[in-house]
Amino acid sequence: MLTVSNIVKRFGGVTALAGVDLELARGEVLGLIGPNGSGKTTLVNCISGVLDIDGGEIALEGRAITRAARTRRARAGLARTFQNPRLFTDLTVRENVTVGLNALAARRARGQARVDALLERLDLTELSRTVVSSLPYGYQRRVEIARALAGRPVVLLLDEPAAGLNDSETAALRDLLGELRRDDEISIIVIDHDMSLIMAVSDRIQVLDEGKVIFMGDPADAFKQRHVVEAYLGTE
């Protein structure tokens, strides 16, 4: 579904991504982890078009999107959330989710039915007329995910979706990710510092450190690797 080949991103004299590769299969959940500053969010920003890249190629369902505008990527089936929810704070829950329909080519025909279904799915129906800025943080996270899903993405990029959530909200997020993979066949990349969430939902884990991939494989094997542990905890 998604192929990232030899991505390079520099900020001045700093190389944030030094030739990163990534592949994501249909219906797969890939956990993207690494210590702070390892390049995780930069990689997602490059994939989603927030940042231009200095080298490499990106393809979605076999079609090159390396130089595509963010709107074109969204309409091709790529959606994302952010570390800090980027919602229209003066709009209601329904209005925010409706914005996500812009990624659909024929968004008006069945758009509101899609919004209704997502509000129900994420337990937001009773809050649909509530202005987003008045919602608790956990509900704002749900609204952002609902908005991302409104455009019927084939690939969903989640940047720290469990940040600020309590245990019950994190459990609900875990269940939702499993449901999206199973029922919708959405491919998901999830960045999070909550290792219990990552281990529970990921089919594979990819670990970044200093802009390079240092591990890719089964979640159960990641922290058996000495170099992965050292990247997180440092060397003695």
Give me the pLDDT at residue 109, please.
54
| Pairwise CA distance, residues 114 & 147, whole Å | 11
The tokens for 209 are 């450190």
Q: Is the pLDDT at 119 greater than 80, yes or no?
A: yes
The yes or no reply on domain 1-77+153-236 and CATH 3.40.50.300 is yes
**pTM tops 0.95:** no
Give me the pLDDT at residue 111, please.
78
Mean pLDDT, residues 19-28: 96
The DSSP secondary-structure symbol of 155 reads: E
> 142-155: per-residue pLDDT in tens?
999 999 999 999 99
The tokens for 53 are 């890249």
| Pairwise CA distance, residues 95 & 102, whole Å | 12
Q: Band of the pLDDT at 213, cuts 50, 70, 90?
A: very high
Q: Going by DSSP bridges, is the β-strand pair 2-11/14-24 parallel, antiparallel, or unpaired? A: antiparallel
Give me the pLDDT at residue 104, please.
73
Mean pLDDT of the chain, nearest integer? 92
Mean pLDDT, residues 2-16: 97
> 70-106: per-residue pLDDT in tens?
999 999 999 999 988 899 999 999 999 999 998 775 5
Query: Bridge partners of 14?
Result: 11
- The residues spanned by each domain of the chain are 1-77+153-236, 84-152
| Pairwise CA distance, residues 106 & 193, whole Å | 37
Please name which of 141, 117, 143 lies closest in space to residue 130, comparing C-alpha atoms. 143
Give me the pLDDT at residue 103, please.
73
Please name which of 103, 101, 133, 132 lies closest in space to residue 117, comparing C-alpha atoms. 101
- Contact between residue 85 and residue 143 where contact means Cβ atoms under 8 Å apart: yes
Give me the pLDDT at residue 66, please.
96
Please name which of 32, 33, 17 lies closest in space to residue 156, comparing C-alpha atoms. 32
Q: Which residue bears the tokens 């509000």?
A: 119
Give me the pLDDT at residue 105, please.
59
Q: What percent of the chain has pLDDT over 70?
A: 96
Give me the pLDDT at residue 164, please.
87
CA terminus-to-terminus distance, the chain: 41
Please tell me whether residue 229 adopts helix, strand or coil conformation.
helix
> 155-196: per-residue pLDDT in tens?
999 999 998 899 999 999 999 999 998 888 899 999 999 999
Q: Band of the pLDDT at 1, cuts 50, 70, 90?
A: very high
CA 47, distance to chain mean position in Å, is 10
Mean pLDDT, residues 203-212: 96
